[in-house]
Structure formats: C-alpha cells, structure tokens
Amino acid sequence: MYTFPNKLKNIARALMILGFTGLVFGFLGAPKNIAEAKAMVATEHHGEGHGEAAENHEETSEVHAEEAHAEEAHAAEGHGEVSHDQEGHDSSHDEHLLHQLQNKPWAALYVAAFFFFMIPLGVLAFYAIQRAAQAGWSPVLYRVMEGITGYLLPGGIIVIVILALSGMHFNHLFIWMDPEVVAHDKLIAGKVAFLNVPFFLGRAVFFLAGWSLYRYFSRKFSLAQDQATDISNHKKNFRISAGFLVFYIVTESIMSWDWIMSIDPHWFSTLFGWYVFASMFVSGITAIALVTIYLKSQGYLEFVNDSHIHDLGKFMFGISVFWTYLWFSQFMLIWYSNIPEEVTYFITRIEDYNITFFGMVAMNFVFPLLILMNSDYKRTNYFIIMAGIVIILGHYLDVFNMIMPSAVGDQWFIGIAEIGGFLFFLGLFIYTVFTELTKAPLLAKGDPYMGESERFHY
C-alpha cells in the first residue's frame, strides 16, 4: 500500500492556498462598472511600458479599430448586437470591454478547471482502451491510471458548477446564455433548440454521470479481481470498457462543442471533438508517465521497468504528432477556404494571441518531436519528465487559446489569476490523485495479464 507522503501533501496544500489567493485577487481586481473598466485600460496605456505590454497595446488599438469595422459590418448584416448609430456603438463597445474584463478571472478559473478535468478524462479513455484491447504491457500501470481518474468526479463537478454559474449569469463566458444577445442574433437564435441552459446543463450532468459510472464499476471490478479466483471480473471489465469507449467518443465530442466551442457560438469546426480529444489524450498519457516516474523515484512500482516508460514515451510522441495533425488540418482548411465567419477564429488568434498560439505549437509539437524521437531518450526518466512538463504546459496553453479569445478578446494576460487558477487545480489534482492511490495496492495482482506485463521488455 502506498502512503501519501506529508511533504507532497503539504506541497499540494500550499499550491491550493497560493492558487486560491491568486484567483481571489483576480476576482477582486475585476472592474465593477464601465467607468472602472475604461480607467483600467487607460492606466494600462500610460503604464510603465515594459516591453511586451507596450507592444500589446499598440496591437490592441489597431485591433480595436478593426473590430469596430467588423462589428459595423455585422450590424449591417443584422447579426450583431450593435445598433447603427455611432453613439450606441460606442457605449456598446465600452460594455463589451467591461464584459471582457469581468470575464477574465472567470475564464482563468474555467481554463484551469477544464484543463485539469480533461487529464483524468483522457486517462480514463486510455485505460478503457487498454482494457478493451486486453493489452499485455500496461496492467502494471492500471492502479496509477485508476488513481488519476479519481480526479474525474470532483474535477467534473467543479466544471459543471462553473457552467451552472454561467447559466445563472454570474459571468458572460457563454454569450448565447444571454437572452438579450440571442434576441438580436439570428445565427444563435437558430441554435436555441440545442444551445439552451437547461438542456446544456442536463447534457453536462448526463455525460459526467456516464463517465463516472464507468469509472466506478471498472475500479470496482479491478479491485475485486485482486482477490478473485477466476477471471470473471476481468471479463466484465473488458465488456464495460468496450461499451464505454463507444459512449465516450460520442459524449466527448458533444462535450467539446458544448463546453468549449459554444463559447464562440458563431463558429464551428467539424473536427473540434477530435482536436480536444487529442489534447486530453496526450495530457492524460503524459500525466500517467509523470506520476509513474514520481512513484518509482519514491521506491514504489518496482515492477515497472524502463520498457513501460518507453511505451508511454512512444504514446506521448505519437499523440503529440496526432494533435499537430488535427491542429493543422483544422487550421489549413479554414485558412484556405477563407470564409469570413470561419476565418475570424484564426485571425483573432494570430493577431491577438500570436505568442501563445504559435508558442503552443512549439511546445506541443516541435519540442516533443525532437526530444522524444530517439529511442534511448524515451527510456530515460529525465527526458520523459522534461518533455512531459512542456507537454502539460503546452496543452494548458492549448485550452487557453481555445477559450480566452472568445471570452476576453485582446484583454488577455497570463497574470496572477491565470497562474493562480493553474496552481490551485494542480494542487487539488495532486491531492486527489495521490489520496486515491493510497486506497488500493499499487499492483493489480489479480489481472490475468499481470505476468506478461511484469516480464514486458523491449
């Protein structure tokens, strides 16, 4: 049995306290009314002018001008919420700014909450694939995977609570939740049958319930198999895993449309579900590798050898390339066809989010590609950890790029609230996962493939 070391427990607690303070700071710093919002942007303009910020503002004013044009165009087409006369335009612009600044701490909270929720969801899919494929190499890692999926339910509940708060108009993350917006927007009005708050929350609860049920039963059968004399529990696990994968790929797609794509309700991409899946899959596998290597360094998991790490490394490498493939496919089709309502998505990202948008490609593709290409490096813990940390941060940025541009526009910054959100959920994740790991032996000794997995070598 594993005991949660006090040192790590304290680190997790410290991260949570630190992160929580950062989030509170972010929420307190948000403007209450239009005057405050204008003042904030104005003082930033006259601010100290340290390199990056100054550059940002120049872009900001340019983009504002462009945005104004775009909005006028929209209004003319009857899409926008903006009325034609110039005064109404100005005031709605200020209100827009206020909403963006008020969204900022919420978006920081939501990005981090979603990112750390998608890790156990990705691990759950990976676990189900191992079960359904009756994999021979991975049973030694089952308990690590089960430990990580322990965060699925608490993390999912937090995300759904944030979504429910959005539904109660505590923030403007999802503009389609605002009846005032829908009334003036034909495109969103056409989607009301799907995008309405009760159905949206109902779906969210249904998805989380489905995933958690699979997690509950597979864990139960896995624990029961430890003591069993036959392999009936193993067979049951095989069956529910195959069923879960079908359920998962449908619900994961809809979840990604609901929880991320609908933040930008005018825009859609048909491979978005796959794109989010690739992101959660590679983050999940990376988390498995990092937790495994940590536990090994503490003297646990003596049955995990470097061939297992090598296989995880191969998956990290492969799925990173897969993610890039989807990222590029989505980008290239939209770039080439150049349809206005589609291409705005990438124009905002390239103009306002240039560093994070392309920085993330370097972190999620170029770095793992070069580091993990060599077979020997994939067997070296040091390289796996280094690549793993970059991949985790890179996919946080990926979620950041998916949510922030529509939520806060060009008012983004990776500041105290964003870092606080990341640290808070990192602490909570570590605390939950390692608590879950203490609840069962680290070797699922009853698994019929355990012998093969322990002898596994490349």
Partner 1 sequence: MSNQVLHALYDDDDVLLNAVKEVREQKHHIEEIYTPFPVHGLDKAMGLEGTRIAIMAFIYGCIGLGVAITMINFIMIEDWPQNIGGKPSFSFLENLPAFVPVIFEMTVFFAAHLMVITFYMRSRLWPFKEAENPNPLTTDDKFLMEVEINGNEEELTALLKKTGAIEITIPQNHEE
Rule CB under 8 A: which residues touch partner 1? 328, 331-332, 335-338, 373-375
Q: Give 6 or 337: the residue with its C-beta nearer to partner 1.
A: 337
At its nearest, how many Å lie between partner 1 and the CB of residue 335? 5
At its nearest, how many Å lie between partner 1 and the CB of residue 370? 10
Q: Give 4 or 335: the residue with its C-beta nearer to partner 1.
A: 335
Element containing residue 177 per DSSP (H, E):
none
At its nearest, how many Å lie between partner 1 and the CB of residue 360? 17
Q: Give 268 or 325: the residue with its C-beta nearer to partner 1.
A: 325
Closest CA to 319 of 242, 245, 244, 387: 387
The answer to whether the CB of 103 falls within 8 A of the CB of 173 is: yes
At its nearest, how many Å lie between partner 1 and the CB of residue 374? 8
Interatomic CA distance for residues 360 and 390, integer angstroms: 10
User: Between vectors from CA 114 to CA 131 and to CA 155, what angle results, nearest 5°?
Assistant: 65
Interatomic CA distance for residues 168 and 165, integer angstroms: 5
Q: Give 25 or 331: the residue with its C-beta nearer to partner 1.
A: 331
User: Which burial class, exposed, middle or buried, applies to 10 when counting CB atoms under 10 A from its CB (0-12, 13-18, 19+)?
Assistant: exposed
Interatomic CA distance for residues 310 and 277, integer angstroms: 22
At its nearest, how many Å lie between partner 1 and the CB of residue 324? 10
CA 222 to chain centre: 28
Q: Give 192 or 332: the residue with its C-beta nearer to partner 1.
A: 332
Interatomic CA distance for residues 239 and 252, integer angstroms: 20
First to last CA, the chain: 28
At its nearest, how many Å lie between partner 1 and the CB of residue 343? 12
Helices (H), 78-151: 86-132, 142-149
At its nearest, how many Å lie between partner 1 and the CB of residue 326? 14
Q: Give 212 or 380: the residue with its C-beta nearer to partner 1.
A: 380
Q: Give 170 or 458: the residue with its C-beta nearer to partner 1.
A: 458
CA dihedral 363→366→370→372, nearest 10 degrees, is 50
The answer to whether the CB of 428 falls within 8 A of the CB of 154 is: yes
Q: Give 336 or 382: the residue with its C-beta nearer to partner 1.
A: 336
Tokens standing for residue 180: 């005032």
Interatomic CA distance for residues 4 and 55, integer angstroms: 46
At its nearest, how many Å lie between partner 1 and the CB of residue 187? 24
The answer to whether the CB of 103 falls within 8 A of the CB of 408 is: yes
